[in-house]
Amino acid sequence: MRVGVAGASGYTGAELLRLCAAHPQLDVVWAGAASQAGSGVGELYPSLSAAYPHLRLDELDPAALDGLDAVFLALPHGEAQRIVADVRKSVGVVVDLSADFRLRDPAAYPTWYGGEHAAPELLPSFAYGLPELFRADLVGAELIAAPGCYVTAAALALAPFVRAGAIEPTGVIVDAASGVSGAGRRLAHTTQFGTANEDFSAYGLLDHRHTPEIEQATGAQVLFTPHLAPMTRGILATCYARPAGDTDTAGALALLAAAYDGEAFVSVRDEPPSTKATLGSNAAHLTARYDQRTGWVLVVCALDNLVKGASGQAVQCANAALGLPETTGLPTVGVYP
């Protein structure tokens, strides 16, 4: 199947190229990046030079996508909503990695993203791309909004408990840390080595823009606090909720295990998960506890923010929409050490 990657010069775009290079069915025939147009993929990312020795980055022109089976949009927020109407006319499946089509309510965009949505009429047409929780919507979908890393980790941790009525859906706390690659390739003071190294900081207090998406995906009212950790990749989300009835640690673990029974990319274990164990894989590792002393349920999720938290999940969604096994071309095993 012939696919394209728009925004291929960014970290999620480069990760899409890496994953597609190992995919037996997805052949990248076009890659676009306005800021690096004319550059060879191997010049920008030497790690990709063997897989794409002749592929060059083009300006984004919807006409160049005509006839492709799928296109991944790894663009900055606000860009996809301006071009999707044209792109969808000539492409089989469009998977958007930005937040442009994740929220169902167009009125939420001015509040959380600072501007009116450019294509609110298209929001109902997008399937939400978290397969383990919304798989039925992805089969045969033509437009998919893939969630980001924080939302994926929080939703995988909390949604099974909310759906089972096992926790109170209000007053839920999500405390999560991300590696610096989550901020993207663009140069910023906060993610420079001299700033991020040997530091651990909170940001987006009370108003981080992913809050409404976490609430939409989990079905819970959430207080979300993100942190920047001095690592390149990874998300570790620690979630706290009050139980809705009698429970214990064994019951909490059993609930998670049952929810993800048979899921190739979700591992539920007794041991606390670590980001390093998921490095480079499309896997999410989970555990849960019930603290009898304080009366809180604790759920922890670790994943690679560029794979299961972005590009790997996008490929997983494309697989489902194109009628391929979801696991095709995606690693379940992390790179360790």
Residue keyed to tokens 């309510």: 105
H or E element that contains 223: strand 222-228
Report whether 334 contacts 274 (CB < 8 A). Answer: no
From CA 159, how far away is CA 105, in angstroms rounded?
20
Neighbours of 76 (CB within 10 A): 12
Distance of CA 234 to the CA centre of its chain: 11
CA distance 111 to 128: 21
Q: Where are the beta strands (DSSP E) in 90-180?
A: 93-96, 127-128, 143-145, 172-178
| Alpha-carbon distances of 247 from 23, 31, 182, 217, 239, rounded to whole Å | 43, 50, 35, 24, 16
Q: Which residues are known catalytic residues?
A: 149
List phi, psi (to 5°) of 57: -85, 135
Cβ neighbours around 262 below 10 Å, total: 5
Q: Could you give the CA distance from residue 57 to residue 319 in angstroms, rounded to a whole number?
A: 24
Helices (H) and strands (E) in the chain, counts: 10, 14
Query: What is the greatest pairwise CA distance in the chain?
Result: 61
